[in-house]
Chain A
Amino acid sequence: MLSKENFEKLERLKSQYPTTKSLSLPVLWMIQEQHGWISPESMQYVADLLQLPVSHVYGVVTFYTMFNTKPVGKYHLQVCTNVSCLLRGGEELLDHICKRLHVKRGEITLDQRFTVTEVECLGSCGTAPMLQANDEYYENLSTEKVERLLDEWSKG
């Protein structure tokens, strides 16, 4: 299930760690980059690939919040509501996004374009409120700015 490039990358990574177990997170990242989430079948695949018990892989996937155990939208919007963001309107921003997209926190839109997740501090407290869309940070947000972003993402 790993792409050819990722297989090659994996080969290179092997020399960097004394155990194959250390490759658990890097390989799970590759799977998620390819498929958007990590299915039970993928967990079995990773277990076979690294010759680890599937229980280990399952344990790792479910421990880390960034690994998605269900499919997410094309745009995974992760809105921070921790202290610094809370003080500068992070909650309101999250509510606004949910209202506009007709979803609750943690849900995916019917057209599968957006998933909205409430997250903990993203290390962007000085540019609050903010959100992360897939891998990108969007900082110093306001409802107007987020409206414009949502317009753009609804098209593209």
Chain B
Amino acid sequence: MSEFTEKLILPDIPNLHQLDVYERHGGYQALRKAMGMKPEEIIEEVKKSNLRGRGGACFPTGMKWSFMPKQSTKPKYLCANGDESEPGTFKDRQIFECNPHLFIEGAIIAAYAMGVTTVYTYIRGEYAKWIAILQKAVDDAYARNYIGKNILGTGFGTEFVIYRGAGAYICGEESALMNSLQGERGYPRVKPPFPAQVGLYGCPTTINNIETIANVPIILNRGAEWYWKIGAPKQPGTLLYGISGHVNKPGVYEFPTGILLTDLIYNYAGGVPGEKKIKAVIPGGSSTMWLRGEEIEGVKMDADSLKAVGTAIGTGGVIVMDEDTDVLKVLARIAHFYHHESCGQCTPCREGCGWMEKILNRFLAGDGTMSDIDLLMDVANNIEGNTICALGDAAAWPVQSVIRKFREEFEARAKKSPTAPKPVTPPHLVTTFDA
């Protein structure tokens, strides 16, 4: 078990979502400190902390901030990504509910560091309740001059706007998010140009996940030196692990990066109901490659360790499946999700996701054949890397990994004595009687 047990993002403090309580526990001190620093010093501190994005791609946050032009004739924007739609992910919601001011404080510090004039927080439409909680917190912060035209009398000003999505997984992809905020359909954009050059409304923009931003006040309060000693050095800090599926105590758990996956499942989440064995684990949200139950021993939950075993930390959303799980059924459901959520711009994703779902449903219906297994892999391989955004990859990875790791499941389900495919008769040869 891990030695560092302090909860930095979701501490057990009752009513922390209220501004008074938050202030009493040191809230907005990091903002005061930041306002006494030069913007470049803040970016340097965040770089030194090694903070990496919690939205899925693990991009170094300080580096991302440094891409923003220092001088700009156009306004600069920060988009906080609260779309949270990756199946198995339910952590940002916890920040909105329990510690919204930590996120707001981080966002204002980020805005100051990058010279941002408006912070747009994009939240999925279904989160009506959490949008209301955050709006209340934002209003309170405005009233105490933590947000506004002249923050804490420093002369620096930034606005804070919450935008409600309306049901589309793709709007979590950063460029689709910007288009959605512009009132358009959520179509991802071709990159380059990158958002730091041409982003929201064509202006320099940085997009960060909610949890990423919530780490910023902690780094400023305690210092980068202190922060990067927590957890895995290359991806330090605590992580909000969301664990769901076949465990006794599903939920969000905050622990340092790099804890053992088995500790998370057995010690914190209470193990598998009925003491059953584990058949498979999805380590970081539905887009990440699966692990077989036999593989999870010794696996650590951080970017590098998971990469070493062929998968990724993703959003930290762990999904556990017990020995009785029909993995093909689960995979078919995932394939359905990506097919449904593909925005339709790129042919490989729009068509390929549908084909993958169809082939998988064929197996569920008992109509799959041995050659369908290779066909499925072929379709997945031809989606991967051939689309504007990573939704195509996200759809391909689970399929590829399940074929590789559970091929026997496909084989067992494939037709035992596959009838040779019916020869296709060209239309002009069709006779009046069937052979």
Contact mask for chain A residues 119-132; partner B; CB cutoff 8 A; 1 contact, 0 none:
01111111110001
Tell me the nearest residue of chain A to B130, going by C-beta: A123
Q: Bound state CA distance, A23 and B181, in angstroms? A: 9
Q: Across the interface, do B168 and A84 meet the contact criterion of CB distance under 8 Å?
A: no
Q: Which of A89-118 contact B (CB under 8 A)?
A: none
A137 touches which one: B129, B163, B185 (CB < 8 A)? B129
Assess the B319–A87 pair: CB atoms within 8 A.
yes
CB proximity to B under 8 Å, residues A33-86: 56, 59-60, 63-67, 81-84, 86
- A21 beta carbon closer than 8 Å to chain B: yes
CA distance A29 to B118 in the complex (A): 22
Of the residues B85, B186, B201, contact of A123 by C-beta under 8 Å: B85
Given A66, A88, A128, which contacts B126 in the complex, CB threshold below 8 Å?
A: A66
Asked whether B242 is an interface residue with its Cβ less than 8 Å from the other chain, the reply is yes
Instruction: For the complex formed, measure the closest distance between the CB of A121 and the CB atoms of chain B, giving whole angstroms.
Output: 4
A137 cross-chain contacts in B, Cβ below 8 A: 129
Indicate if the CB atoms of B183 and A23 lie closer than 8 Å: yes
Contact of B183 among A21, A81, A86, A87 (CB under 8 A): A21
B150-183, CB under 8 A of A: which get 1 and which 0?
Answer: 0000000001010111111100000000001111
- Contact call A22/B245, Cβ cutoff below 8 A: no
Q: B87 is contacted by which of A19, A59, A83 (Cβ under 8 Å)?
A: A83
Given A87-B246, A87-B321, A120-B341, verify A64-B88 contact (CB < 8 Å): no
The CA-CA distance from A88 to B333 in the complex, in Å, is: 14
Compute how far the CA of A21 lies from the CA of B179 in the bound complex, rounded to whole angstroms.
10
Q: Which residues of A contact B252 (CB under 8 A)?
A: 126
B340: A residues at CB distance < 8 A: 120
Decide yes or no whether B357 CB sits under 8 A from chain A. Answer: no
Which chain A positions have C-beta within 8 A of B211? none
> Which residues from A are CB-within-8-Å of B145?
none
Considering only residues 127-164 of chain B, those with a C-beta below 8 Å from chain A are: 127-129, 159, 161, 163-164
Interface residues on B, range: 35 or more
B228 at the interface (CB under 8 A from A): no
Q: Which of chain B's residues have a CB closer than 8 A to the CB of A60?
A: 183-185
B166-A84 in contact (CB<8A)? no
User: Which of A21, A66, A124 is the most central at the interface, judged by chain B CB atoms within 10 Å of its CB?
Assistant: A66
Bound CA span A59–B182, Å = 14
Most buried by B among A24, A26, A122, A126: A126
Band of interface residues on A: 35 or more
Q: Does B314 touch A at the CB level, under 8 Å? A: no
- In this assembly, does B105 line the interface, its C-beta being within 8 Å of a C-beta of chain A? no
Tell me whether B244 and A63 are in contact (CB under 8 A). no
Q: Is the CB of A123 within 8 A of B183?
A: no
Contact B182 A125 (CB under 8 A): no
Whole-angstrom CA separation of A26 from B201 in the bound complex = 17
Q: Please indicate the chain B residues that have their CB under 8 angstroms from the CB of A22 in the complex.
A: 163, 181-183
Chain A positions within 8 Å of B317 at CB level: 125
Contacts of A84 in B (CB 8 A): 87-88, 244-245, 250, 319
Residue among B126, B165, B319, B333 making CB contact with A125, cutoff 8 Å: B319
Say whether B250 contacts A63, CB under 8 Å. no
The answer to whether A120 touches B183 (Cβ under 8 A) is no
Most buried by B among A21, A65, A132: A65
A25 contacts chain B at the CB level, 8 A cutoff? yes
Question: Do B87 and A125 touch (CB < 8 A)?
Answer: yes
A16 on the B face (CB < 8 A)? yes
B247 → chain A closest CB, angstroms: 9
> B319 to A25, Cβ gap below 8 A?
no
A32, chain B: closest CB distance, angstroms: 9
Are B337 and A120 interface neighbours, CB within 8 A? yes
CA gap between A67 and B213 in the complex, in Å: 30
- Which residues of B have CB within 8 Å of A59? 185
- By a CB distance below 8 angstroms, the chain B residues around A19 are 182-183, 201
Assembled-state Cα–Cα distance A22/B161 (Å): 12
Whether B165 and A64, one on each chain, are in contact in the complex, defined by CB atoms closer than 8 angstroms, is yes
B interface residues with partner A (beta carbon < 8 Å) = 75, 84-90, 93, 118, 124-129, 159, 161, 163-169, 180-186, 201, 242-246, 250-252, 282, 286, 317, 319, 321, 325, 329-330, 333-334, 337, 340-341, 343
A-B contacts besides A84-B319, A87-B245, 13 pairs, CB < 8 Å: A16-B118, A25-B183, A29-B166, A63-B168, A63-B343, A81-B333, A83-B334, A87-B244, A87-B246, A87-B330, A120-B341, A121-B88, A136-B129
- List 26 A-B residue pairs with CB atoms under 8 Å apart, sorted by A's residue number: A19-B201, A21-B182, A63-B343, A64-B125, A64-B166, A65-B166, A65-B168, A67-B167, A82-B333, A83-B334, A84-B245, A84-B319, A87-B246, A87-B325, A88-B245, A121-B87, A121-B89, A121-B286, A123-B89, A125-B87, A125-B242, A125-B245, A125-B250, A126-B251, A132-B126, A135-B128
